[in-house]
Structure 1
Amino acid sequence: MPAIIIDPVPPPTPDEPPGPLWKRLAWFVALSVVAAGVTAIVAYALRALPFAG
């Protein structure tokens, strides 16, 4: 029997209210900051690639 580490959570029903606005905005801001950071890291790595070696 496999070990279940995380309990699956069913999706919300259509009549269930969404979470609070501040929490949804915080997720949006956090994801966009992380995405911009990853994009910058990849861009600088690709820019430095011709100078390596």
Structure 2
Amino acid sequence: MRDIIERPPAPGEALPPLWKRLVWFAGLAITGALSCAAIAYALKLLLR
């Protein structure tokens, strides 16, 4: 079975392709912004 959390590459080992790393970065950034906006909107509704 494959590990859920992958270890960092060993020294000298090739990194994953750039497009894959950029997709992960963009996905995490968008998800973080959307969750922050959702929490802020929910708090705004609660504090009215």
Q: TM-score range by the shorter chain?
A: 0.7 to 0.9
The normalised TM-score by structure 2 is: 0.79
What is the percentage of aligned positions where both structures have the same residue? 43
4+ residue segments displaced more than 3 Å? 6-11
Q: Where in structure 2 are there 5+ consecutive unaligned residues? A: none
Matching residue of 2:14: 17
* Higher Cα radius of gyration: 1
Q: Considering only aligned residues, what root-mean-square deviation do their CA atoms show, in Å?
A: 1.6
What is the number of residues matched between the two proteins?
46
Superimposed CA distance per residue, residues 16-49 of structure 1 (whole angstroms, 9 cap, x where no aligned partner) = 0110000000000000000000000011011111
* Structure 1 spans left out of the alignment, 5+ residues: 1-5
Greater RCO (CA < 8 Å, at least 6 residues apart): 2
